[in-house]
């Protein structure tokens, strides 16, 4: 079974990204053959700054490698290092109706928010279809917002297969995981970099402490019993603690004598304990860009081998000989 997913390179990552997406992707290395790439071409639709795109792409690679992406076991590359995807994008464009693209929620949402649409943004799902179909992907783990793009991929693949009376393209299925509920931010709303309520994974100890100490709670005093069930600090502790530890924490909430500051420090300890091993690995990689580039080139060469063989068959199928 082939699992494929792309990640947009988007600067700093928070623990919501980690528990919502990154951790699952890393773990899927045990479920099948994982193909994962940094969607640098897709990022061009929103990032128009050379240095920023370079920095974000490099950091995304470092973050994934530090968090356990295994470049031997999986195929991990940067999208623009395997240019076959652009050739397939053009071929697929000719099997994509305007109406299909006009119905895309993400495109409609962006234009409704006043973002000036250009052709890149409009045809974004065709490039995503090329990513998926080039590698014969069976499963595409995505967030809710991307499910429609996988459905569009199936439509495009069907249209192509039908035109050439072939079953060349494998029909992909999206996989959404409902188990991890949305990770709450420091104010209790969905943690998101757009809401300024994040707890970052890789920031200075001082900054992370400040974010944790800023978690919103009610104003119960030290000598009052507290309600753990509705508390943001407790909700975040659930991500890091096992059952026994949570029971102990519940007792502490229910027994007067401690304040929210104590619970926040308990959470901070857990966060540090969880991410410290990755911090060190990440620092090593950040300080060794040559090694990171070698790993990415190795991944690209593995991906390219598959992509170029598939493209030969596709060219032959459509008459580009
Ligand atoms: P942000 O909302 O901070 O801009 P992105 O939209 O870049 O985050 O999300 C990247 C990935 O992380 C997506 O797959 C998304 O599903 C996941 N993710 C982001 N925030 C959360 C959250 N609070 N809880 C669970 N998953 C999240
Ligand atoms: N559009 C995806 C996102 O924003 C990223 C992406 C690009 C992707 N190509 C893909 C995801 C192919 C899965 C498969 O999250």
- Separation of alpha carbons 160 and 10, rounded Å: 33
Please report which ligand is nearest the Cα atom of 192.
1
pLDDT score recorded for residue 217: 97
Distance CA 17, CA 13 (A): 6
Per-residue confidence band for 179, with pLDDT thresholds at 50, 70 and 90: low
Residue nearest to atom 4 of ligand 2 (CA): 8
User: Looking at the DSSP assignment, which residues form a beta bridge with residue 5?
Assistant: 36
Task: Please say whether the dihedral angle defined by the alpha carbons of residues 14, 193, 299 and 36, taken in this order, is positive or negative.
Answer: positive
**Per residue in 190-208, pLDDT tens?**
998 888 999 999 999 999 9
Closest CA to 39 of 85, 88, 96: 85
8-state DSSP, 141: E
C-alpha torsion 97→103→104→109, nearest 10: 140
Secondary structure of residue 39 in the 3-state scheme: coil
pLDDT digits (tens, 9 = 90+) for 88-133: 999 999 999 999 999 999 889 888 988 888 999 999 999 999 999 9
The neighbour count for residue 2, using CB atoms within 10 Å, is 17
Residues in contact with ligand 1 by the CB-under-6-Å rule are 10, 16-17, 20-21, 143, 182-183, 190-194
Specify the pTM.
Answer: 0.90
Residues known to be catalytic: 110, 190, 193
Residues with CB under 6 A from ligand 2: 4-6, 8, 39, 42, 128, 131-132, 140, 142, 146
């Amino acid at each position: 079974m082939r699992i494929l997913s792309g990640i947009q390179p988007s600067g700093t990552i928070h623990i919501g990204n980690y528990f919502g997406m990154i951790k699952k992707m890393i773990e899927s290395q045990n479920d099948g053959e994982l193909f994962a790439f940094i969607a640098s071409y897709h990022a061009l639709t929103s990032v128009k700054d050379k240095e920023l795109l370079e920095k974000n792409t490099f950091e995304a690679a470092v973050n994934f490698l530090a968090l356990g992406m295994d470049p031997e076991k999986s195929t991990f590359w940067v999208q623009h290092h395997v240019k076959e995807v652009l050739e397939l994008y053009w071929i697929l464009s000719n099997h994509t109706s305007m109406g299909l693209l006009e119905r895309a929620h993400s495109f409609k949402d962006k234009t409704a928010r006043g973002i000036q649409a250009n052709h890149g943004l409009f045809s974004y799902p065709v490039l995503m279809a090329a990513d998926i179909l080039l590698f014969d992907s069976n499963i595409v783990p995505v967030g809710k917002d991307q499910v429609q793009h996988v459905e569009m991929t199936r439509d495009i693949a069907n249209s192509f297969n039908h035109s050439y009376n072939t079953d060349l393209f494998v029909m992909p299925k999206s996989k959404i995981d409902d188990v991890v509920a949305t990770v709450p931010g420091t104010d209790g709303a969905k943690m998101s970099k757009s809401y300024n309520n994040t707890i970052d994974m890789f920031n200075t100890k001082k900054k992370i402490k400040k974010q944790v100490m800023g978690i919103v709670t009610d104003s119960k005093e030290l000598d009052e019993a507290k309600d753990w069930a509705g508390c943001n600090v407790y909700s975040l502790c659930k991500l890091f603690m096992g059952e026994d530890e949570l029971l102990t924490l519940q007792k502490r909430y229910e027994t007067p004598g401690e304040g929210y500051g104590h619970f926040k420090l308990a959470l901070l300890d857990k966060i540090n304990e969880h991410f410290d091993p990755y911090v060190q690995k990440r620092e090593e990689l950040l300080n060794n860009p040559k090694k990171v580039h070698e790993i990415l080139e190795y991944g690209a060469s593995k991906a390219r081998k598959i992509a170029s063989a598939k493209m030969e068959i596709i060219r032959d199928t459509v008459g580009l000989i």
